[in-house]
Amino acid sequence: MSKSIIKAAGLFKSYKMGATSVDVLRGLELTIKKGEFVAIIGSSGSGKSTLLHILGSLDRPDSGDVFFDDENLNGFSSRRLNKFRNKEVGFVFQFYHLLDELDVLENVYLPSMVSRSIIGWFGFKTQARQRAAGLLERFGLADRLTHKPYQLSGGERQRVAIARALMNEPQVLLADEPTGNLDWQTGNDILNVFTELNKAGQTIIMVTHDQRIAQKAGRVITLVDGRITD
Ligand SMILES: Nc1ncnc2c1ncn2[C@@H]1O[C@H](COP(=O)(O)OP(=O)(O)O)[C@@H](O)[C@H]1O
Ligand SMILES: [Mg+2]
């Protein structure tokens, strides 16, 4: 049996809105193994984004633990957490979140600038540009490197976002409704990219509200009433 890469234990999360509170996660348990492609399916508002953000440490649970490679994120220093967010997980969002001021190549290598000093970056820049260009070529965008995101189609933008998420060779790719803004055929192309990445060993956790999309993953689990059901 392969090793767990992400494990959630007893996650609780609620949002307080004035006098009322919405209980989103209610003691959620989840284990993802290295090399898996897992789809988490749930209706709109069921807490999929909340869960994914907590797994990637973009948000914190009210209580409960997330383990990465058997290490508890609750025990991480802020420096270690920053490294986790920048290097060990990569995020892909429904609306791409690319920067229109930067060209495609710059968008992709941006994450590799974040963790470096200015001097460190100058030493690394050529290598970073090469890696970014290589990823873009792999996703069929070799002739789009100097385009701005607004000059691309939705499917092309999402492939740029996937290249960016992979720039720092993350252990886990976290995708939040990655095909939610795309037509069926283009969405399918994006799912094929995920399938190829997973075949090459990439661990992927994707959340979606769409059963047809979830079926592309190796394992489908369902989020209902703040927990995973089978
Ligand atoms: N920052 C927030 N403040 C208050 N309520 C929120 C916030 N984020 C999410 N919610 C609520 O929590 C529930 C789950 O949201 P979300 O995780 O975005 O669901 P999903 O991604 O499955 O559609 C929803 O009812 C939503 O309105
Ligand atoms: Mg969502």
Residues in contact with ligand 1 by the CB-under-6-Å rule are 15, 17, 22, 24, 42, 44-50
Q: Which residue ranges make up each domain of the chain?
A: 4-16+24-229
Task: Map residue 180 onto helix, strand or coil.
Answer: coil
List, for residues 1-26, the tens digit of each pLDDT value.
579 999 999 999 999 988 999 999 99
Band (pLDDT 50/70/90 cuts) for residue 134 is: very high
Q: How far is the CA of 95 from the centre of ligand 2 (A)?
A: 11
Return the residue whose CA atom lies nearest to atom 7 of ligand 1. Answer: 15
pTM for this predicted structure = 0.95
| Ligand 1, atom 16, residue with closest C-alpha | 47
Per CATH, the homologous superfamily of domain 4-16+24-229 is P-loop containing nucleotide triphosphate hydrolases (3.40.50.300)
DSSP 39-102: EEE--TTSSHHHHHHHHTTSS--SEEEEEETTEEGGG--HHHHHHIIIIIEEEE-TT----TTS
37-61 mean pLDDT: 96
